[in-house]
Amino acid sequence: MSIKVCIIGAGSIGFTRGCVRDILTVPELRDAEFALTDISERNLDMVAKLCERDIAANDVPALLTATTNRREALSDADYVFSFVRVGGLEAFQTDIDVPLRYGVDQCVGDTLGPGGIMYAQRTIPVLLDFCRDIREVAKPDCLFINHSNPMAMNTWACVQYGGIRVVGLCHGVTGGIWQIAHLLGVPPEELDVVCAGINHQTWYISVKRRGIEQTGRLLDLFEKDPELSRTEKVRIDLLRRFGYYTTESNGHCSEYVPWYRKRPDEIRDWIDLGSWINGETGGYLRVCTEGRNWFEHDFPNWMEAPPMRYTPEQRGHEHGSYIIEALETGRVYRGHFNVRNNGCITNLPDDAIVEAPGYVDGNGIGIPIVGDLPLGCAAVCNASIAVQRIAVEAAVSGDDALLRQALLLDPLTGAVCNPPEVWQMADDLLVAQAQWLPNYKKQIAAAAKRLAAEKKAGNYKGTHKGDGAARLKTRSVSELRKNRAKHEKQLLVADKSAAKRAEDARGK
């Protein structure tokens, strides 16, 4: 049962090293072949070194290769992971900073909102290139496992235009279960949970213990929890207004809807600065930047730290390795996956990418029908889905009229800006990210011209001052070094998921 796993964007150290470990923890998969690929030879090399050391230390017969030639890495692959971030932190910076000039204050900015929409514009054409390569050189039934954000839009494009099998994965649901279990005072394993919606707006519509529904108790428990009532104010407010708890972190939640971040002087009432993920302006950008700098500086230490251990206890919670295990061994796995709706959530559109519970075994990935979402939850999701659909079409076709409509329809942007501002923000974003948007070449030239003319005429609107309502300074490596013990855990996991999981797990 030898399988080949290709990892694109393998320079993403946290994801790649964990992915290799998680798969090699499965006895039947110990002879797997990993083909790592990245556009950065240096990062690829560092990650490969770390993984090879782990493999050797665990004495498994796995094979690992690393190449910047993507098609070579994809050849005959059974599974392909994407961890790429198109444009890296440089582009990400503009996802946050340009909208801020128009008053749109994002915390994460990689899923929806102007940041997420632009991120999709950069990423979708690249992912469709991966799909084409997979169609051409990978195994016929190769499964593409997408981790690249914005999850829903990226997976949507691959499902609709990629011509391959795709599943989008996120660990978001797990964290919320830990919180709820903590509040109920029971182990998470004892809860039967149905969580459904779209990635990052998924709702715990049923939480049962021994057959008894617990949802009605949650608001009171959250409000009374001294810690969570402080850190999860937006999530709790959504629970209050809509009756169901939602998966996403407080910071994320606050940026997807029009209610919590439109008035600069109220933002701090809804967020918590203890962790970037609870609402800090550009928080994820800050922590990613710090993490990257730290890793580049700290790599020698990593090579001297003890290697990872491939044991069941150390295995992570990302769904990917469990899906592969289920498909290859037939052992059933239940998780929450991102797939084309196709009637699963009966009051969301069929073409949307939903996140819903599924079962995997030797027969494939099966997604039972969930039925209707509660009306309010469905409405919140539908607003995002409309934006996603338009943004996907924009990215695929390079049609900036659609891109502008996606921005206009974003709930937070629509609550903050008027139409001329939105269109100018679009121009600003296109020009700032020109190097990663080859699809929009012609429109970017026109946008630049328009911007220059508006500035000259004194009509430039991107004039909001300051760094946003809740911004923290990015710490330098030397600052971080001073307090290494305190920061290390966070820095080791220079990825959002791990940070969030760490937060969520506190209650565990």
Q: According to CB under 8 A, which residues from 371 to 400 bind its own copies?
A: 375-376, 378-380, 382-383, 386-387, 389-390, 393
Question: Are 287 and 490 within 8 A, CB to CB?
Answer: yes
CA distance 260 to 263: 7
Among 29, 153, 308, 408, binds its own copies (CB under 8 A): 408
Query: What are the residues facing 204 on neighbouring strands?
Result: 195
Q: Does 292 bind its own copies (CB under 8 A)?
A: no
Q: According to CB under 8 A, which residues from 326 to 345 bind its own copies?
A: 327-328, 330, 332, 334, 342-344
**The amino acid at 118:** M
Q: Does 359 bind its own copies (CB under 8 A)?
A: yes
In degrees, rounded to 5, the angle at the alpha carbon of residue 382 between the alpha carbons of residues 380 and 386 is 130
Q: Does 221 bind its own copies (CB under 8 A)?
A: no
Q: Does 414 bind its own copies (CB under 8 A)?
A: yes
Measured in residues, the chain has a length of 508
CB neighbours (10 Å) of residue 365? 18
Among 66, 134, 409, 437, binds its own copies (CB under 8 A): 409
- Nearest-10 Cα torsion for 487, 491, 497, 503: -10
Range list of β-strands (E), 54-142: 63-67, 79-82
Question: Are 139 and 76 within 8 A, CB to CB?
Answer: yes
Q: Does 266 bind its own copies (CB under 8 A)?
A: yes
Q: According to CB under 8 A, which residues from 168 to 197 bind its own copies?
A: 192-194
Q: Does 163 bind its own copies (CB under 8 A)?
A: no
Smallest distance from its own copies to CB 51, Å? 26
Among 411, 430, 431, 498, binds its own copies (CB under 8 A): 411
Catalytically active residues are 171, 256
Smallest distance from its own copies to CB 244, Å? 11
Q: Does 494 bind its own copies (CB under 8 A)?
A: no
Query: What are the residues facing 170 on neighbouring strands?
Result: none
> Which phi-psi region, left, alpha or beta, contains residue 11 (left: φ > 0; alpha: ψ -120 to 50)?
alpha
CA distance 135 to 21: 27
Closest CA to 375 of 130, 226, 205, 501: 205
Binding mask 473-492 for its own copies (x = CB under 8 A): --------------------
Give the residue with the Cβ less far from its own copies, 30 or 262.
Answer: 262
Strands 333-340 and 33-37 turn out to be unpaired
Q: H or E stretch including 159?
A: helix 151-161
Give the residue with the Cβ less far from its own copies, 242 or 299.
Answer: 242
Q: Does 349 bind its own copies (CB under 8 A)?
A: yes
Among 161, 259, 299, 460, binds its own copies (CB under 8 A): 259
Q: Does 237 bind its own copies (CB under 8 A)?
A: yes
Q: Does 241 bind its own copies (CB under 8 A)?
A: yes
Smallest distance from its own copies to CB 233, Å? 11
Question: Are 428 and 463 within 8 A, CB to CB?
Answer: no
CA distance 406 to 51: 41
Residue ranges in contact with its own copies by CB under 8 A? 1, 192-194, 206, 208, 210-211, 237, 240-243, 257-260, 262-263, 266, 327-328, 330, 332, 334, 342-344, 347, 349, 357-359, 361-363, 365-369, 375-376, 378-380, 382-383, 386-387, 389-390, 393, 401-402, 404-405, 408-409, 411, 414-415, 417-419, 423
